[in-house]
Structure 1
């Protein structure tokens, strides 16, 4: 679309969303990694909107939650009126009369940029003053029917929620109004002041603009969406779950067609912002969120959560939780490991079973095999950390770092009391509490010598019998 014909997009988001039963504004509820309102905003971006306007409540609950290039206006009932037309009236100062205007709703996330582009194309090709997005449903229920004239133009939209609103013939129509509109900017501006609120709710309804334009002799058309789910919105949490299922299926399909193996999509959650390369494998039970990236050949799962994580080529992550951490190519994680923010597992390194790493740099090929906590530490390449090793990094006031060199072999159950440095090729004895630096190539041992007490078992039994 040329810049000269780029539309103004208005997203209606001033509803209170009481049916969500939530302190979070309805359009800010998370939906596959974006707020609900983020999906129509994405559609606006995909069609190259000249200007994107979001209509908010007077309390401006969306401030600070929208992209910087989105303009927010407030809908005040006393100035603009309630209802969808009142919301558009609130944005009239930002409507360019020489550009098409697309009106989306903030709680209808299934309308894509491709669908909006089709709506705009139909609007231009037919020379319409207004074009309605419609969909054909096998069971239209109580949705408004699109009634066309003999030439295919839209004659009217008939509401069906109240008995008698529609004739029996109109109720047989399966084409319904999806609640998305395209208007010629000048004709919309001319019609809006004439929308009244003479109805039971006292609200100004945007579909009334269609009748005004028809009365003026303008043509009103309809663009039928390719799939029926386009009409789905999210007015409560049950409906949010339904649209989430549709969006999640779209995300899965895109990854599958791009060469990613998702073994069981039904048990897999993938946010929109997740990037996965071809030939990666996602096992069942995985949750991939935020800005997570997964490189080719990596195997993630089963039952792994990765949030804002980076998983390198050929890495494996089994039954683990990776949050804001980086696992480079060929590294292995799990089972039952927890990698926390600031962790870097370098190429070929290992975080084994029941290992927690926090703000730790684990060198190339190094291993933290099992039952260990390594926090605020640097580990050189080729080092092996014995089971149940701990970096004691917190003195009750401040965090301190532990530095362990290359080729180090620590004994099981070693505690490093930071700050402490262990040189290259050094060893520690099992059960040691290391409070001083260990020079390169040295063995650090810090434990009491073993003492055996002969006859202890008999003495213990005698003491127990005496108490009886």
Structure 2
């Protein structure tokens, strides 16, 4: 493959099993705020300008590869022999980036931010070091590798908890497990001679690469992140929950600072990639995920779900769900309605209670007030769809589309047997089943004639009261 030294690259370590999680997923695929931890790390790297990504997989790697698709390369660490060994598996990837810089990060560290990655790289370049460790200062550093600096601030060593002297263990600056390396220098030490297996565990540790770089006279530095949570990971379900709660609180706080109104945060979950405009209100029990964008002055909730959707200004979504769709300005939805993937709802629409839309476009100022299913349909502007109307879009094998022209009136309990086209200004009588196209301005009536039988009750039941 092409040699690309001018492109920032990253190797993300994602081979771990996470036995204590007691999950059928690989550890990095466990979610914080409904987003895999691996996704947090990859997005942070991309946000810092990293273009080429290599993910080292291992345990249940099929799930990771399915999640990644073609967005990143993968290599397999068949035997879990430590972080240094994992990076060795990416040697071919690193060879293609000789002359460049590589970020090494753990796939289960969701609070590693783009800002931290960028600032660490800036320091790395400014100092001319061969390696820069991303560090943090903790009140309680127990269990973490300590960053030991020289008088000039350079890194002399990374000392693990079990190996440190009392003086070294008194240091509160710790290793986050993320690094910037000069690729050429990393490749020079990325071998068993410099990264010898531990006599206790048999594993090769990436911290030994830092020690090897120092031993050959190259510079080593540490960027002290302002956010101490950069070091946080999870090894148990309780710790994972705590990560999620911390992330939830931080994200809500950020939105509050940006002018979003969240009067009660109970049950409110907002994903890390969500954008919400000012003066919008989020009510309890609302879950907003994916790359959702919500405009200004909206009212969302209570108990609403919005995923990967675009919501215009001054939209109200009450106790309803919107997924992978667009809702334009001034529309209200709900309560108890569902907008399924592939929908676009125009401006000033009313999608009332118990309405389901699927793969449907709805024009401006259209009303679908209650109890209707409109799927695979193109609905015009200023259309009024009555109670209980249904597009019958599935013939048992294929889905078919319907269309309804502007300013049409669809009577209650109308069935549109797809594929049919209703022109502009058409009307269907209540109870009509439409099986053929209706031209502009026409009315369709397709219901059984009502037969009235006088005296039938007396004949059937006699004098019963």
| TM-score of the alignment, normalized to the shorter chain, above 0.5 | yes
Q: How does 1:402-421 map to 2 (within 5 A)?
A: 402-421=402-421
Q: 2:170 corresponds to which residue? A: 172
Which string of whole-angstrom CA distances, capped at 9 and with x for unpartnered residues, describes residues 7-43 of structure 1? 5432222223333333333223444465422333333
Pairing 1:236-385 to 2, within 5 Å after superposition: 236-265=236-265, 267-385=267-385
The 5-angstrom pairing of residues 135-146 of structure 1 reads: 135-146=136-147
Counterpart in 1 of 2:89?
90
- Distance in 2 between the 1:341 and 1:451 partners? 46
Alpha-carbon deviation of 1:232?
0.5
| TM-score normalized with structure 1 length | 0.83
CA–CA distance in structure 2, aligned partners of residues 399 and 214 of structure 1: 65
For the Cα contact (< 8 Å) 1:143–1:177, is it kept in 2?
Answer: yes
Aligned equivalents of 1:209, 1:459: Cα separation in 2: 95
Q: Pick closer, same or farther for the CA change 1:407–1:120 going to 2, 3 Å.
A: closer
Alpha-carbon offset, residue 137 of structure 1: 1.3
Report how far residue 58 of structure 1 moved. Answer: 9.2
> Does 2:76 align with 1:74?
yes
User: Secondary structure of the equivalent of 2:365?
Assistant: coil
Q: Is the alpha carbon distance of 1:110 and 1:385 closer, same or farther for their aligned partners in structure 2, counting shifts above 3 Å?
A: same
Deviations 1:98-133 (A, max 9, x none): 444432111112112221233234444445443322
CA, structure 1 residues 289+462, in 2 after alignment: closer, same or farther (shift >3 Å)?
A: same
The RMSD of aligned alpha carbons is 3.4
Go from structure 1 to structure 2 and tell me whether the alpha carbon gap of 1:398 and 1:112 turns closer, same or farther (over 3 Å shift): closer
- Report the Cα distance in structure 2 between the residues aligned to 1:131 and 1:378, rounded to whole angstroms: 56
**What is the rounded CA distance, in whole Å, between the counterparts of 1:250 and 1:446 in structure 2?**
58
CA 1:176–1:338: 2 relative to 1, 3 Å: same
Q: 1:340 to 1:243 in 2, by over 3 A?
A: same
Q: Residue 58 of structure 1 contacts residue 74 of structure 1 at CA under 8 Å; is this kept in 2?
A: no
Q: Which residue does 1:388 correspond to in 2? A: 388
> Structure 1, residues 69-103: CA drift from partner, whole Å, max 9, x if none?
644333355xxx82111122233341556444432
Q: Which residue of 2 aligns with 1:14?
A: 15
Please state how far the C-alpha of 1:350 moved relative to its aligned partner: 1.6
Which residue of 1 is the match for residue 196 of structure 2? 196
Tell me the distance in 2 between the aligned counterparts of 1:406 and 1:59: 52
Note if contact 1:33-1:272 (Cα within 8 Å) is conserved in structure 2: no
Deviates more, 1:122-131 or 1:351-360: 122-131
Q: Partners in 2 of 1:97 and 1:416 — Cα distance? A: 63
Q: Separation in 1 of the partners of 2:443 and 2:189?
A: 86
Measure, in 2, the Cα distance between the counterparts of 1:209 and 1:254.
38
The answer to whether the 8 Å contact 1:56/1:75 transfers is: yes
Which position in structure 2 is the counterpart of 1:181? 179
Structure-1 separation of matches of 2:244 and 2:443: 58
Shift of 1:351: 1.3
Deviations 1:159-203 (A, max 9, x none): 22x5xx444444433222222223344443343332211321111
* In structure 1, C-alpha distance between the alignment counterparts of 2:159 and 2:396, rounded to whole Å: 69
Report how many aligned residue pairs link the two structures: 456
Moved more, 302-311 or 371-380: 371-380
Q: Secondary structure at the match of 1:355?
A: strand
**Normalising to structure 2: TM-score of the pair?**
0.84
**Of 303-312 and 194-203, the range deviating more from structure 2:** 303-312
Contact 2:300 / 2:318 at 8 angstroms: preserved in 1? yes
Question: Is the CA contact 1:433–1:447 (under 8 Å) kept in the aligned structure 2?
Answer: no
C-alpha separation in 2, matches of 1:378 and 1:73: 46
Does residue 38 (structure 1) correspond to residue 43 (structure 2)? The answer is no
Structure 1 unaligned runs (5+)?
none
In structure 2, the CA distance between the partners of 1:457 and 1:352, relative to structure 1 (3 Å rule), is farther
Q: In 2, are the aligned partners of 1:373 and 1:389 still within 8 Å (CA)?
A: yes
TM-aligned CA distance change 1:364 to 1:76, over 3 Å: closer
**2:49 is the alignment partner of 1:48:** yes
Alpha carbons of structure 1 residues 212 and 408: separation in structure 2 relative to 1, 3 Å: closer
